[in-house]
Structure 1
Amino acid sequence: MADTTSSTPEEGTTTTVITATTHLTLPAHPTPLTYDQLNPKSIPHEFFGPIGTGAITFLAPLFTYIFFFACNDAVGCTPTSVNGWKDAWNLVGNFPSAAGYFWDGRAAAVYGVWYAFCIVCWMVLPGEVIQGNLLRDGTRKTYKMNGLYTLILTLGISVGIIIQPGGIQAYTWLYDHFVPLISASLVMSIAQAAFVYAWSYQSKELLSLGANSGNVIYDFFMGRPLNPHPPGFPSFDLKTFNEVRPGMILWAILNISCACEQYVRLGKITDSMLLVLVFEGWYTVDCLIQEHTILNQMDITTDGFGFMLSFGDLTWVPFTYGLQARYLAFNHITLGPVCTAVIVVIEAAGVYIFRSANNEKGNFRAGRNPKNLEFMQTERGTRLLTSGWWGRSRHPNYFGDWLIALGWCLPTGFNTPLTYYYIIFFVILLVHRQMRDDEACRKKYGKDWDKYCELVPYKIVPYVVSSKSTLAGKEIRH
């Protein structure tokens, strides 16, 4: 901005003030970078490198099946004797119903139709079109956010089926074909991971910075491409689509199928099943209401799309996150008002912390600060919150997530540890993610991150597990 003014005006003269404002849109890089410069070679170090990622690629699908064969109405849940485990093993490949068959053509067709239905909904349903974060090549991806409408339409169709004569019994078909549906989703996740890995060598698309090592096992798992799309469909970001649509919504309708199974067996829905339906269902609804916020998550901004995300989104989420509902379908637990109230308080506290923390961060990133929160200015020109929930710990939303997960598990009682796998898994997952995020921030902010860690020493749980001695009370810049 330039201002031009005359000296002290004389009588009879006119002073003109000229203000010129120029807006420049600068390229992300003054000199265009080559493909190799944009996509440097990486070192395979995450998850203990190729050995660790190879082990997870094999073990994660295996455990998805184990969760079924170790917890079902034929053997109970978590056999406690050698004979019990033998009985569970004998059921593998010889299950008395279609629920335990490894493959079923109809189940595969149903899963294929389901995935196609989600794509059609993305194409035809209305939705807000927004731009994602600036990529390192200077471009931005455009996203259509209409996952909530897909969920609403799916739930509407589900209600239409259930209220028909015999509809509740018909809806148990998903429960009755659980393992073959797992297999169909696993085939889809492997096929997608293999395709995007191979296509990334032809498309010359932007790669993730952490999975361009040249090691096939490692890069296949971590994901070479950052934002893969099928040839000819540049607006269809496969990674973002999978993140909250086919798997998340399928999780909700599988839970409904489990509730229908309980109703067919018992003639009613227990309070424990109702809590699981409401808690886990609300998590899905809230996720899709806030669908645009996934664009700021590490999965989207940093991680490539490979087997880790394709399997996690399409198989692990829908078929293991709902283990509590499947358990309650054949173990009918009645909690009573006192236990129900305690569990509701724990869940509500988790939801409050999770949403309050994310709202603080979201408002701050958008240039708003309604709570007048304190922050630290970095040399990069960005600011880091140091009060509110983000002054209590560096990842308070993860703490909220843990309480939410605990609320999902508690309705199953304490007869089996298997239904508590989710809270254990989530603790491990988020601790690892916190470590990855801290490492990335240390590279990003340098010495400013060390200063920030002194101001906010607690990692996830407020006032528990400090990385450095707390300097609470130290004055910070506003």
Structure 2
Amino acid sequence: MPSKAAPAYDPAPKSAHYEFGGPLGALGVTLAVPFFSYWLPFAAQNGFSLCNFVDYHRAGWRAMEDPAWWKSLWSTEAMIVYLAWYAWCVVCALVLPGKEEKGVELRNGQRLTYKMNAFATLVATMAAIAGWTAVYGIDALLYIPHHWAQLVTATTLFSFALAFFVYGQSIVPELFPKAFEPPMLALGGNTGNRLYDWFIGRVLNPRIGSFDIKAFNEMRPGLILWVVFDLAFVAWQYERIGRVTDSMILTVAFHAWYVFDAEFNESNILTTMDITTDGFGFMLSVGDLLWVPYTYSYTAYFLALHPLDLGVSGCAGVLAVQFLGYYIFRTSNNEKNEFRLGRNPKNLTSFQTERGTRLLTSGWWGRSRHPNYMGDWIMAWAWCLPTGFQSPLPYFYVIYFAILLVHRQTRDDEACAQKYGKDWDKYKRLVPSRIIPHVY
């Protein structure tokens, strides 16, 4: 009896539903990300507190009535500086040595190859900054806070341009089908609504030859720039008060630790939804290039303007929160990765699914379906606590990150429900907590 033929591979299936609130939500995020990237530093400059909320915004609206204020947001020099930074990252990705690794199997049965040298790029960048600063001083770093708004503008415009470029990559083969092979589109990026598809990302793995645009932007320009910005704010605080506070040292150390760890374990991204499922559109472009470096470094920006000394006991308390979050984050991820690679040193329990794979039901993954998210969120608190309680502004990150993780958990669960069917229902009964055991 002949076997049933496998369904033909479709590079451009029609998307079944919207995410992020559809076109209206896509428009909202497209406007909100640049807005908050501008607004947060402007608010910090005035020591924003709940008490001066009304006065601050009245003064802000009056300033915006002056055309000179709008002109101050643009600088050709700042655009050149940002383009030079991006070019540096591209050159490093192309020329620095790195191990080649295969990604997950795609719908067409192929596995793309990725060059893992983000950590080498980070080290080269830090060495270049250290050498330049040793010879010429901190003026180059001070360019960043002194031209912050102009750099936000440059990065925002580049994020838009990159999103239009990759969207064009998906459209050109449709216009000239005989000349170009159709790219593989993301399952959620081909709704037919151009605004939404541009935002969410049509092409799953946009590339120029072997250069993977999505993986590159995930791990290099924005993530490494986050550390560069932090160092600039250290220099800025030193310029302003003649020393660097313990709160600033803790904040920058936590951020650097996170980035160095991510870059050192770069291959872990190959199994994330960003790489395996999501297309690359404006959402990832502006998220990777603008939102991550400009808002994740915000606590350091705030401390440069509003320095604070924590003392020994304060530092010890913040360190305890950081170590707890990192321990949960790293050990849970290690459990998952070891298990996926066929190793089970802790003899963790699991059950077989009809797909032939197994789902963990003990260790961290027996306590919560997303324990790594819990560790990540605890670390978010450690990154904000060094600012004290002089303003609610730095704590925006804890709130934003909680919303992000809950949304990501919801998407993960929906994807797993489609992937595992009734086995996922069984897993949810065995592991009822989504992120925080016995809470959520």
Aligned with 1:224 (options 182, 202, 215): 202
Instruction: Output the amino acid matched with 1:212.
Output: N
Q: How many residues align?
A: 428
Instruction: Output the amino acid matched with 1:133.
Output: V
- 2:283 is matched with 308
- 1:241 is matched with 216
Aligned with 1:71 (options 41, 44, 50): 44
The CA deviation string for residues 301-344 of structure 1, in whole angstroms up to 9 with x for no partner, is: 10000000000000000111111000111111000111110000
Shift in CA distance, 373/31, structure 1 to aligned 2, threshold 3 Å: closer
Whether 1:344 aligns to 2:319 is yes
User: Are the aligned partners of 2:205 and 2:212 in contact in 1 as well (CA < 8 Å)?
Assistant: yes
- 1:214 is matched with 192
- 1:146 is matched with 117
- 1:60 is matched with 33
Aligned with 1:292 (options 248, 267, 274): 267
- 2:332 is matched with 357
Task: Give the Cα–Cα distance (whole angstroms) in 2 for the partners of residues 156 and 30 of structure 1.
Answer: 55
The CA deviation string for residues 69-89 of structure 1, in whole angstroms up to 9 with x for no partner, is: 2222xx223463322222233
Deviation at 1:68, TM superposition (A): 2.0
- 2:18 is matched with 45
Q: For residues 83-232 of structure 1, what are the structure 2 equivalents within 5 Å?
A: 83-92=55-64, 101-164=72-135, 167-203=137-173, 204-230=182-208
Instruction: Output the amino acid matched with 1:83.
Output: D
SS at match of 2:244: coil
- 2:177 is matched with none
SS at match of 1:276: helix
Structure 1 runs (4+) greater than 6 angstroms displaced: 93-98
Instruction: Output the amino acid matched with 2:61.
Output: W
Percent identity, aligned pairs only? 50
Task: Give the Cα–Cα distance (whole angstroms) in 1 for the partners of residues 272 and 5 of structure 2.
Answer: 28
- 1:19 is matched with none
Deviation at 1:97, TM superposition (A): 10
* Structure 2, gaps ≥5 residues long: 174-181
User: Are the aligned partners of 1:70 and 1:79 in contact in 2 as well (CA < 8 Å)?
Assistant: no
- 1:402 is matched with 377
Instruction: Output the amino acid matched with 2:305.
Output: F
Task: Give the Cα–Cα distance (whole angstroms) in 2 for the partners of residues 217 and 388 of structure 1.
Answer: 43
SS at match of 2:101: strand
Instruction: Output the amino acid matched with 1:150.
Output: T
Deviation at 1:264, TM superposition (A): 1.1
Structure ranking higher in helix proportion: 2
User: Are the aligned partners of 2:73 and 2:150 in contact in 1 as well (CA < 8 Å)?
Assistant: yes
The CA deviation string for residues 130-167 of structure 1, in whole angstroms up to 9 with x for no partner, is: 111110011111100101111111111111122235x1
User: Are the aligned partners of 1:121 and 1:150 in contact in 2 as well (CA < 8 Å)?
Assistant: yes
SS at match of 1:143: strand
Instruction: Output the amino acid matched with 2:318.
Output: I
Q: For residues 247-286 of structure 1, what are the structure 2 equivalents within 5 Å?
A: 247-286=222-261
User: Are the aligned partners of 2:63 and 2:69 in contact in 1 as well (CA < 8 Å)?
Assistant: no
Task: Give the Cα–Cα distance (whole angstroms) in 1 for the partners of residues 280 and 140 of structure 2.
Answer: 36
Higher Cα radius of gyration: 1
Root-mean-square deviation over aligned CA pairs: 1.8
Task: Give the Cα–Cα distance (whole angstroms) in 1 for the partners of residues 102 and 164 of structure 2.
Answer: 28
Instruction: Output the amino acid matched with 1:463.
Output: H
Task: Give the Cα–Cα distance (whole angstroms) in 2 for the partners of residues 77 and 113 of structure 1.
Answer: 33
Task: Give the Cα–Cα distance (whole angstroms) in 1 for the partners of residues 419 and 351 of structure 2.
Answer: 15
Instruction: Output the amino acid matched with 1:458.
Output: S
Instruction: Output the amino acid matched with 2:328.
Output: I
Bigger relative contact order, structure 1 or 2 (CA pairs below 8 A, ≥6 apart):
2
Task: Give the Cα–Cα distance (whole angstroms) in 2 for the partners of residues 248 and 153 of structure 1.
Answer: 14
Instruction: Output the amino acid matched with 1:410.
Output: L
Task: Give the Cα–Cα distance (whole angstroms) in 1 for the partners of residues 140 and 374 of structure 2.
Answer: 39
The CA deviation string for residues 251-290 of structure 1, in whole angstroms up to 9 with x for no partner, is: 1001100000101111111000000110001111000000
Instruction: Output the amino acid matched with 2:83.
Output: G
Shift in CA distance, 53/318, structure 1 to aligned 2, threshold 3 Å: same
- 2:178 is matched with none
User: Are the aligned partners of 2:222 and 2:292 in contact in 1 as well (CA < 8 Å)?
Assistant: yes
Deviation at 1:92, TM superposition (A): 4.3
User: Are the aligned partners of 1:71 and 1:78 in contact in 2 as well (CA < 8 Å)?
Assistant: no
Task: Give the Cα–Cα distance (whole angstroms) in 1 for the partners of residues 314 and 89 of structure 2.
Answer: 38
Task: Give the Cα–Cα distance (whole angstroms) in 2 for the partners of residues 90 and 371 of structure 1.
Answer: 62
- 2:306 is matched with 331
Task: Give the Cα–Cα distance (whole angstroms) in 2 for the partners of residues 447 and 324 of structure 1.
Answer: 44
Instruction: Output the amino acid matched with 1:102.
Output: L
Aligned with 1:370 (options 324, 345, 364): 345
SS at match of 1:123: helix
Instruction: Output the amino acid matched with 1:108.
Output: M
Task: Give the Cα–Cα distance (whole angstroms) in 2 for the partners of residues 239 and 452 of structure 1.
Answer: 32
* Structure 1, gaps ≥5 residues long: 1-28, 466-478
